[in-house]
Amino acid sequence: MTLKQSYGIGELAREFDVTTRTIRFYEDQELLHPTRRGQTRIYSSKDRVRLKLTLRGKRLGFSLAEIRELFELWD
């Protein structure tokens, strides 16, 4: 199976059953770092994994600050 290299915000929203507003919020919280092509956000495979881990962390009761801290350790 080949993983895509980039994703649009709508693709990720549908895949993870969240709103585009949620994804933009996580971007504002510095959990996701998409590149820009004009007004379009382009999310990498790394952003996709981070979104997945963020949603999993929230379900497990972690705060966004704690999740951000874990990502900083990961990076």
Residue 4 has what pLDDT?
Answer: 78
Residue 32 contacts residue 45 (beta carbons within 8 Å): no
User: By CB neighbour count within 10 A (0-12 exposed, 13-18 middle, 19+ buried), where does 16 fall?
Assistant: middle
Question: Tens digits of per-residue pLDDT, 29-49?
Answer: 999 999 999 999 999 999 999
CA 54 – CA 18 distance, rounded (Å): 12
Q: What is the model's pTM? A: 0.89
Question: Tens digits of per-residue pLDDT, 14-34?
Answer: 999 999 999 999 999 999 999
Question: Tens digits of per-residue pLDDT, 53-72?
Answer: 999 999 999 999 999 999 99
Residue 74 has what pLDDT?
Answer: 86
Residue 34 contacts residue 42 (beta carbons within 8 Å): yes
